[in-house]
Structure 1
Amino acid sequence: MREIVTVQVGSYANFIGSHFWNFQDELLGLADNPESDDIFNNHNLDMNVLYRSGETHQGIPTYTPRLVSVDFQGLLGSVSSRGTLYNEAPASPGCVSTWTGGVTTHSSEPLKKNLFLESLHLEDEAVGNTSSDSWKNGSRSEIQDKDIVECLENGVQYWTDFSKVHYHPQSLYELSGLWMDIEDFNNYGFGRDVFSGGLRGEEINERLRFFIEECDHAQGIQFVVDDTGGFSGVAGEFLENIADEYANIPVLLYRVSPDTSIDPKSRKQTISRNLHDVVSFSRLSALCKLVVPVGLPSLSRSRTSSFLRVEDEKPYHTSAVYASAIHSISLPFRMEQLGPSAQSSYTCGAMSVNDLVQILAGQSRQNIISILDVSMPAPSFTGYPAQQSLLENLQPLTPDVAEDAEDFQAVESMTVHGVYRAGRQRASITEVKDAVQAAYDNAVTRPKFSHLSVARCPLPVPLPFPSIFGNLIGQHGELLDTPISGPASRGSLEVHSIPMAARLRSSNAILPFLENRLGNLRKFGIARGALGTELLRNWGFGKDELEDIGETLSKMFTTLNPYSEESSDSD
C-alpha cells in the first residue's frame, strides 16, 4: 500500500475538503453501481490510498477517509465531532471523581439538519431497514433533489452542511476553550499560542499518529491549511511536530485563501494582513517539501471562470473550484501501479507524492513553491486549434502570477482526465498524449521537463455540488456552441460530470508573488521605524527572526530570477 493521510486545518480548508471527499464518495458509489458509465466502473483508481477499512464495536464494516480535520469549536454545524458510524457517547461530567458537590449541566439544543443532511440520515436508516417497500414509500421520497439543491445554494453556513461522507471518530477535532470570536483569531501569533496551549497540540498529534501508524507505507501527507488567520499558526506548529516525527514522509501543502478582495477597514488591518501573509508563507514553506498557494482575490472575475458562474462571497462556491483542481492534480497518487510491460486503457502516468516533489522541487533550482493551474472544463480535442487551447485554457489559481512568463528552466506535472475528442466521444489515453504533445510542439515556449498523467474518468459532480456551471456546459461537461436556454447557472441536476485538466509548475512566473511578500516584509516589518515592528513582536517574532524570514524569501526569489546575479548585487 502507498497510503496518503490528509490534514485539513481551518474553516476554508475544510470547505475545500468537504467537496474533495464528496468527489471520492461519488466515485465509490458510481463504481459500485452496475448502471453507471463503464468509465466509472473501471476507473483504475485505488481508493484505499485515501480511505481506511475498519469496523464498529458491533462488527459492522466501515470505510472512512484517512483524515485529520481541525476547526473552531461550533463550526461543525449539526454534525457530531464523533461522526455517525461508531455511536460513541461523550464522557459524562458526572464521572469526575474529585468533585463531591452537585453538578449542573447546561446544554444547547443541537442544530437542525438541513434537507440534504436529513436525506442522508433517512438513507442510512433505510440501509438498516429490511423492508425495501418501507424505504420506497418513506419520507425520503418526499425530499426532492431540486429542493436539496435550492436549500444548499441559499443556506450553506458550515462545511458539514454539504458533506455526504461518514467520518471516523478520530478525524474531526474542535479547538475548544479559546474564549474568543473567530474574527479575532486572525494572525499567526494567536494560532501558534493556541496549538501550544493546554493539551491541544498533543491531542492533534495523537489523531495524526492514529492514522499514520496503521499505514503499511505512507507515501505522503496531503495538508490543506486556511491561511487567512490563526489557523496558519496552528498548522505551523503542527508541521514542526510532523517534521520531527515523520521526517521521511513528504508533505504536500496547499496554502488556501478565500476571497481576499474585501479591503481592510483600517491601515492597521492592512499592515496586519500583509505581515501575517508574509510570516505565514515563510514559516509554512520551510516545513514542507512542496507548497502550493491557492486562492485568487476574485475567482469570479478571473479567466478561470470563463464558463463558470461563481459567487465570490460564497465559500461554498469558490471552494468547489479549488477542490476540483486538487482532486485532479492528486489523481496520479492513487492510480493503480502497473508493471513495466502492462498497460491500462483507463489511466497512465501514476506517481507518488515523492515523485511529484522530485519533479517540481528536486531540480537544480531546489524550488519548493509551485503554481496551480486548472482548465474547468477542459476543451475537446477536435483539431489543432483545440489542441493548442488546452494549454491556453489552463489558468492559475495561484495569486500574483506573471502572465506569459518565459522560463526555459520550468518544470511541470499535468493531469488530464475525462476529456473528449471529435464527435463528443471520450478520448483514449493515446489520443490525449498525442494531443498534449502536439500542443507543446506548437507552443511558443515549452518547459524543460514535463510529466503527464491521464485518466479517462472525468470529475463526477455529486448532488451537493453548487450551481456554478454556465449555460455553455453540457450534461457531461462538454462545451456547447450555443447556450442552453434557462437559468444562467446550472448545477448537479443538469451537469453530471466534467472533463478536467490541472497542472503544477515550477516557474519564474511566481516571482511577483515572492516580490510582493518580500517588499511588504521590508516595508512594514524590517525598515527603520516600520509600523508593523511592534505588531510582529507581539506575535513572538524578534528582529533576528524577521531578518531570517527576509533572507529565506530573498533566496527563493534569487533562485528563480533569470537575472539572479544582478539581483543579488543590487540587494
Structure 2
Amino acid sequence: MKEILTLQVGGYANFVGSHFWNFQDEILGLGEDGCEDAMIPTHGLNMGVLYRQGETRQRIATYTPRLLSIDLRGSSGAVNPSGSLYERPPAAELNSITTWHGPAATFRAERYEKNKFLQSLDEEEKWLSGGAQGLDHTRAETSSRDATDLATQEAHVREAKEQERAVIQSLEDGVQFSTDYLKAQLHPSSTYEIAGLWQGVTSFEDYGCGQGLFSTGEQAEEIRDKVRFFVEECDSIQGFQCIVDDSGGFSAVAADFLEDLADEYGRTPVSLFTVRAPKRVQESKSTNRQIVRALHDSVSLARLAAVAQLTIPLGLSQLATSSFAEHLVIKDEKDFHTSAVYAAAINCITLPYRMEGSGPSITSQKAGLGSLDMGSALRLVSCSSSRRVALLEANLPSPALCDIQGQSVYNVQKLSPLTPSTGKATNGSHVAEMMVLQGTQLPGSGVPATIAQVQESVAKAGEIAVKARRNSRQSLRISHLAVSQCPLAVPLPFPCIFSSYIGKYGNILPRPNVISKQGRGGIDVISAPVAARVSTSRGILPFIKRRSLDMQQLALARSTTGPSLMQDWGFAREEVQELSESLSSMIAAYGDEVESDTSDTD
C-alpha cells in the first residue's frame, strides 16, 4: 500500500478538510454490508491510502484519517481537539502546582455548546453501544427495522426526515468552526493548535503575522513529532497532500513547515492546494492595505510554490456568481458553503491516488480507469517539475454525456475554473493535464455510464476539438484520464447548495419556469457526478505575472512603503530579490505568450 498523509494548515483549509473527510466517511459507510446503493458503486477505492488502523488502550479497533490539522487555539469549538477515541491525561489543577507560591488567577472561556449535528453523533454512538437511540444516519427512506406495519414505518420515516432537516437547518444557520460538521473521529496526533494565538482574538491577517512561528523550537519539534508518528507507521508513503489557507499568517507557517518537511523527507512528493474564502479576497479601499495584500500574495506564492512539486490555487473572489455555480445556490459569506465546493473538487482530482490499479483492458476495468500515484501525477502535470503552479477546472454536478454530431460525447467545455485570474486551458497552448471524471451519467436517466462509455466519449470530444482547431496553431498536449463509476457521495451535513432542479443522484432535471432560491442538500441529493481537470497551461500565467509585477513594483521600488514592510516581515533586500527572481523563473517555464482571456480577478 502507498499511503498519503494529509496536512491541513489554517482555518479555511480545515473547513475544506472537514467536507473532504465527510466524503470519505460517507464512502466507508456505503461500503458496509447492508448499506450498498447500486447507484453509488464504491468498489475500486482503497480507503487505506488515507486512513490508518489502530486501537485504544482497551484494544478497541479504530480507523481514523491519516491527518495533521494545524490551527489557532480555540478553533475546535465544542469538540475536544484531542478527539474522543483515546484516553487523555487529566488537566493540571492550580493547587497541584507547587513551584509557584504567589497569587494565581484562573480565566475560563465560555464552553461552546454542541450543535444539533454533533449531539446527534453522540446519540448515535450511544445507540450503537446499546444505549439510547440516536438519529438514524441512513437515509430517511430506510424503514425502521422494528416497524411492524406500514403506518408505523411511515411515521418513523417522517420523524427521521424532521430530525435530519432540523440538523441541516442548524448547520445552515450557525456553523462557526470546521468541527461543527465533521463526522470523522480523529486521532489525538491529528490536531495541533498554535500556543498563544487564539481564534477570534489574535490578528492573523497577513504574512508577517505568521513569519517565524514554526521556527520556534518547542512548537516546531511538537509538529515534527506528529508528522513522524504517521509517517513511520506507513509501509510506503506516496506523498503529502496539503491544503493551506494562504489568505493570512498561515501562509508563512505552511511555508516554513513544508520547507522543514522537505529537509527531513527529501524526495517525498508534496501536492499543495492553497485555498481562500471569497470574503478574504475582496479588494480593500485602503492604499496601505492594498500594498499589504499584494505583497502577501506575492510572497505567499513564491515561497509555497518553492516547497511543493505542484501548487494549485483555489479561491474565486465571487464563487456564487461564477460560471462554476450554474447549478448551485451558494452564499459567498458562508465558509460552510464555499469550502464544500473546493473540497468536492479536491476529492475528485485526487481520486486516482486512491483508486485500485486498473486492469490491462477496458472490460476488466469495472471499478475504474487511470489509477496513478501522486508522484507520477505531479511529474506528468508539472512537465517533470518545470511548471510548479497549475490551474484547476471542475463542475458540480457534472453534466451527463450528450449527443454531438450523432456521437455520445462528454462536453469538456462545461468545466469552469476555480483558480482565480486564469485564462482558459484549451486555447491552443502547450498544456499538460490530468482529468478525472467520477460518476458520469448516461443522458436523461441518472444511471452511471460504464468506464468504456466515458472513455470513448472523452476521446470523441477530443477528436471534435482537434478538427475545430485544425486551422489554428495547436501545440503538444500531454494528458491523463482517470474515470471512476463512484460519484461524490453526499453526506448528511453537506450544505444546501444544489439547485432545486437537481435530482436525488445529482442528475440535472428539466428546469421549471420558476426556480426556487432554496437549495437542496444531503437529505434530498445523496450523490452527484463530478469532473475536475488540473493543467499547467499558459492560462495560469496572468495569476503568476500579477504577483511578479507586484513584487517588482512594490517590494523592490524604494518609492513605496513595500521595502520597509518586507523588512518588518523579516526579509532582507537580497531575500526579496530572490523571491522576485523565483516568480520570474515560474513565468519563464510557461513561455512568453500570455492569453488575455481571464475568468476571474483576485
- Mark yes or no: TM-score above 0.5: yes
The more displaced of 504-513 and 173-182 is 173-182
Tell me what 1:502 maps to.
532
Aligned: 1:160 with 2:179: yes
In the TM superposition, what whole-angstrom CA distance separates every residue of 1:399-432 from its partner, at most 9, and x where no partner exists?
Answer: 1101366344201001001011135121000000
In the TM superposition, what whole-angstrom CA distance separates every residue of 1:9-53 from its partner, at most 9, and x where no partner exists?
Answer: 000000000000000000000111424213545421000000000
Tell me what 1:533 maps to.
563
SS of residue matched to 1:63: strand
Tell me what 1:431 maps to.
453
Residue 253 of structure 1 is aligned with which of 253, 260, 272?
Answer: 272
Deviation at 1:197, TM superposition (A): 2.9
What CA distance in whole angstroms lies between the structure 2 residues aligned with 1:131 and 1:266? Answer: 56
How large is the RMSD of aligned CA atoms in angstroms? Answer: 2.5
Tell me what 1:457 maps to.
486
Aligned: 1:559 with 2:572: no
CA contact (8 A) 1:388 1:439 kept: yes
CA contact (8 A) 2:126 2:132 kept: no
Tell me what 1:568 maps to.
none
**Aligned 1:65-464 pairs, distance under 5 A:** 65-93=65-93, 96=97, 98-99=99-100, 105-129=106-130, 144-178=163-197, 184-197=203-216, 199-259=218-278, 260-338=280-358, 340=360, 343-363=364-384, 366-384=386-404, 390-403=411-424, 406-424=427-445, 425-443=447-465, 444=468, 448-464=477-493
Deviation at 1:480, TM superposition (A): 1.2
SS of residue matched to 2:31: helix
Deviation at 1:562, TM superposition (A): 4.2
- Aligned amino acid, residue 420 of structure 1: Q
In the TM superposition, what whole-angstrom CA distance separates every residue of 1:106-154 from its partner, at most 9, and x where no partner exists?
Answer: 434421100000000100111111687999899x969700101111011
Deviation at 1:189, TM superposition (A): 2.5
- Aligned amino acid, residue 571 of structure 2: F
In the TM superposition, what whole-angstrom CA distance separates every residue of 1:154-200 from its partner, at most 9, and x where no partner exists?
Answer: 11111111111100001111112137965621222221222223511
CA contact (8 A) 2:208 2:569 kept: yes
What CA distance in whole angstroms lies between the structure 2 residues aligned with 1:546 and 1:222? Answer: 28
SS of residue matched to 1:62: strand
In the TM superposition, what whole-angstrom CA distance separates every residue of 1:341-379 from its partner, at most 9, and x where no partner exists?
Answer: 69231211000000111101134x810111111011111
- Aligned amino acid, residue 150 of structure 1: Q
SS of residue matched to 2:531: strand
CA contact (8 A) 1:271 1:524 kept: yes
SS of residue matched to 2:341: helix
Deviation at 1:90, TM superposition (A): 4.0
CA contact (8 A) 2:499 2:516 kept: no
CA contact (8 A) 1:9 1:231 kept: yes
- Aligned amino acid, residue 31 of structure 1: G
What CA distance in whole angstroms lies between the structure 2 residues aligned with 1:514 and 1:174? Answer: 32
SS of residue matched to 1:224: strand
SS of residue matched to 1:477: coil
CA contact (8 A) 2:239 2:269 kept: yes
Over 3 Å counting, the alpha-carbon distance change for 1:470 and 1:358 in structure 2 is: same
Deviation at 1:485, TM superposition (A): 6.7
What CA distance in whole angstroms lies between the structure 1 residues aligned with 2:52 and 2:85? Answer: 14
Over 3 Å counting, the alpha-carbon distance change for 1:73 and 1:423 in structure 2 is: same
- Aligned amino acid, residue 123 of structure 1: E
Aligned: 1:474 with 2:493: no
What CA distance in whole angstroms lies between the structure 2 residues aligned with 1:370 and 1:199? Answer: 35
Over 3 Å counting, the alpha-carbon distance change for 1:387 and 1:550 in structure 2 is: farther
SS of residue matched to 2:189: coil
CA contact (8 A) 2:255 2:303 kept: yes
Over 3 Å counting, the alpha-carbon distance change for 1:53 and 1:267 in structure 2 is: same
- Aligned amino acid, residue 254 of structure 2: A
Deviation at 1:531, TM superposition (A): 2.2
TM-score, L = length of structure 2: 0.88
> Structure 2: any 5+ residue segments left out of the alignment?
137-143, 147-155, 595-602
CA contact (8 A) 2:410 2:454 kept: no
CA contact (8 A) 1:511 1:561 kept: no
What CA distance in whole angstroms lies between the structure 1 residues aligned with 2:254 and 2:195? Answer: 16
CA contact (8 A) 2:495 2:522 kept: yes
CA contact (8 A) 1:469 1:489 kept: yes
- Aligned amino acid, residue 152 of structure 1: L
CA contact (8 A) 1:65 1:167 kept: yes
- Aligned amino acid, residue 188 of structure 2: P
SS of residue matched to 1:337: coil
SS of residue matched to 1:420: coil
Tell me what 2:579 maps to.
549
In the TM superposition, what whole-angstrom CA distance separates every residue of 1:239-296 from its partner, at most 9, and x where no partner exists?
Answer: 1110010112100000111114533241111110110010011001001111101111
CA contact (8 A) 2:316 2:419 kept: yes
SS of residue matched to 1:306: helix
Work out the percentage of aligned pairs sharing the same amino acid.
40
Tell me what 1:569 maps to.
none
SS of residue matched to 2:550: helix
SS of residue matched to 1:202: helix
CA contact (8 A) 1:31 1:40 kept: no
Over 3 Å counting, the alpha-carbon distance change for 1:465 and 1:132 in structure 2 is: closer
SS of residue matched to 1:529: coil
CA contact (8 A) 1:388 1:442 kept: no
Tell me what 1:567 maps to.
none
SS of residue matched to 2:436: strand
Over 3 Å counting, the alpha-carbon distance change for 1:324 and 1:404 in structure 2 is: closer
SS of residue matched to 1:462: coil
- Aligned amino acid, residue 146 of structure 1: R
CA contact (8 A) 2:401 2:409 kept: no
What CA distance in whole angstroms lies between the structure 2 residues aligned with 1:129 and 1:299? Answer: 45
Deviation at 1:477, TM superposition (A): 0.7
SS of residue matched to 2:293: helix
